[in-house]
Amino acid sequence: MIEAFGLTKRYGAKTAVYDLSFQVRPGLVTGFLGPNGSGKSTTMRMILGLDAPTAGHVTVNGHLYRQLPNAPRQVGALLDAKAIHGGRSAYNHLLCLAQLSGIPRRRVDEVLGVVGLQDVAWKRSKGFSLGMGQRLGIAAALLGDPQVLLFDEPVNGLDPEGILWVRNLMKRLASEGRTVFVSSHLMSEMALTADHLIVIGRGQLLADMSVKDFIAHNSADFALVRTPDTEPEQRGRLSTVLAEAGGHVRPEPDGALRVSGLPLPRISDLAHEAGVRLWELSPHSASLEEAYMRMTQGVVDYRSTEDPRAGLQAPPGVGHAVPPGAVPGVWSPPPGAVPAGYAPPVPGVIPGQANPYATPPQAPWQAPRTPPQAPQAPQAPQVPPPAPRQAPTPPTAAPEGVGAEPTERDSEDAR
């Protein structure tokens, strides 16, 4: 049995666990639930003596963990499956733990067979997958055949077959009279495995009861009513009748009615008196997940915000124009411009077929890289630079009578 009395743990100004008291009884699988950061791992570490509580104390079978004689043979735990030397094989890892606790060597082979790692017993653990590491951690917890077992997320990384195996293992250990304390975030798995629940939020106890009572105390009580889909007027008439009788009616997305405030026999009588045929009239059976979400909705520290996805949308399809300025910070072409790769529909042409009226293809229109600027004042024309100087060319003989210097005979003839 595990008993906590006023357990409190502070890390500086942060209080991880505050005044926590509970009992984990033998013969049951007790689920330990709570949002991230609620103090579950800190509580388990204090049970095992890895963290000293600031106030209060916790005992295992009536003793503090550090006072238990040969504690590994009385308490087995899986808190971190990666807490193993990667260079050691699975067999040598378990053998070291067994020799430190005085456990015979044959027990190593037994637990390797229980967790299904006998074929990889001599492989180095650094090559193990997450699921194989979980199995090895469970084997270490079972090594001393303890009466008290603590498991933190034991099905993390396991395939469906492994999850079923862990579920059956927990139930079998509890049926043998052992104390089994399991922390998990998988509500569907806890609903199938746990008999009792301890729920904490922000370090404080929220619930300590059986799974059945937890669901009953934290789920809405209502009935689902369904009328023929082909006769919507009957659905409307029934809604009016139930509301006038004091019921609270809310339509469901699938066409059914959620009715609260009225017992099932009364709903049936009112429908019969109104002449409405019923296709379904069933009480709502809440799930553990729904009850857990209802219980812890006010103690969740990490909530997601709506993703705006600004600027990440896919480009619009053909015929879906985006007005200029629709996307902040992104320039859009002016109205009437056709972006590259798109063409406006042509009347009389079936999409997907060749256009007989099309003109020869031209270069596609490309949007400018920057938005068009306002026109600027014209600038003065620039004077071209002077031509480079060239070397003078040698004179050539001019044709007769052209460009020659006048002679004395020519002067006389002219006179």
**Class of the 2-74+146-213 domain?**
alpha beta
Q: How far apart are CA 62 and CA 164, in angstroms?
A: 33
Length of the chain: 415
pLDDT on residue 319? 47
Per-residue pLDDT reduced to its tens digit, 61-85: 999 999 998 898 999 999 987 778 8
Residue spans of the domains in the chain: they are 2-74+146-213, 87-140, 223-287
pLDDT at residue 354 is higher than 80: no
Q: Are 132 and 117 in contact (CB under 8 A)?
A: yes
**What's the rounded Cα separation, in Å, for the pair 73 and 80?**
19
Which strand ranges, in their side-by-side order, compose the sheet holding 196-201? Answer: 75-78, 148-152, 179-183, 29-33, 196-201, 204-210
* Dihedral sign, Cα of residue 292, residue 298, residue 302, residue 306: positive
In this chain, the answer to whether the domains covering 2-74+146-213 and 223-287 adopt an identical fold is no
Tens digit of each residue's pLDDT (9 = 90 or more) over 300-349: 888 877 777 665 655 555 444 445 554 444 455 555 554 454 455 555 55
pLDDT tens per residue across span 82-131: 778 888 899 999 999 999 889 999 999 999 999 999 999 899 988 888 88
- What CATH number belongs to 223-287? 3.30.70
- Residues 17 and 46: beta-carbon distance below 8 Å: yes
DSSP letters of 44-107? Answer: HHHHTTSS--SEEEEEETTB-GGGSTTGGGTEEEES-TT-S-TTSBHHHHHHHHHHHHT--THH
Asked if pLDDT for residue 298 goes beyond 90, the answer is no
| Cross-strand bridge partners of residue 89 | 124
Q: For the segment 191-243, what is each residue's pLDDT rounded down to a tens digit?
A: 999 999 999 999 999 999 999 999 888 877 788 999 998 888 999 999 999 99
Amino acid symbol at 47? I
Looking from the CA of 400 toward its CB, the CA atoms found within 13 Å total: 0
How many separate helices (H) and strands (E) can be counted in the chain? 11, 13
C-alpha dist (Å) from residue 348 to 319, 345, 353, 356, 357: 16, 9, 11, 10, 10
